Copies of this chain bind each other. A is one copy, B any other.
Amino acid sequence: MKYEVFYGKGMGKVKKEYPEIYETIKKLNEVVYTGKILDYRTQKLIALGIAASNCDETATEKQMRSAMKELEVTPEEITDVLRVVLLLSGMPAFVKGMRILDEIKK
């Protein structure tokens, strides 16, 4: 299931210790990634762009890995997301995103 992949092990603890938070986040994920109008793939690219724009390295790396693994998003597509980040959020956010992408590719 898609939320399992995204959450990572950090959410394992939440599931065990705070099941009511876990259930709500799970429900929130389902409501967010409906895949009705925009497909799931497009929404994941938007999520990747937001994470990279915030200079949040951990979240950006997670988004890139899950996009590549789950949805076979290519490095070229991720670079196209990062181009938008360059324009809207500046060069440091772009360079950081390119570096994370490069480390994942290795």
Query: Which residues on A are within 8 Å of B, measured CB to CB?
Result: 7-8, 10-11, 13-14, 18, 20-21, 24-25, 27-29, 31-34, 36-38, 42-43, 45-47, 49-51, 53-56, 58-59, 74, 76-77, 79-81, 83-93, 95-96, 98-99, 102
Contacts and interface: CB of A to CB of B under 8 A. Distances in A.
A20 B31 contact: yes
Nearest to A42: B42
B83 A51 contact: no
Contacts of A86: 21, 25, 28, 32, 90
A23 to B, nearest CB: 8
Q: Sorted from nearest, which 5 A-B pairs have the closest CB atoms?
A: A38-B80, A46-B49, A59-B92, A90-B90, A32-B83
Given A53-B53, A95-B8, A88 B47 contact: yes
15 contacts: A24-B24, A28-B86, A32-B86, A37-B76, A37-B77, A43-B84, A46-B81, A47-B49, A47-B87, A49-B50, A58-B96, A59-B96, A88-B92, A89-B89, A90-B93
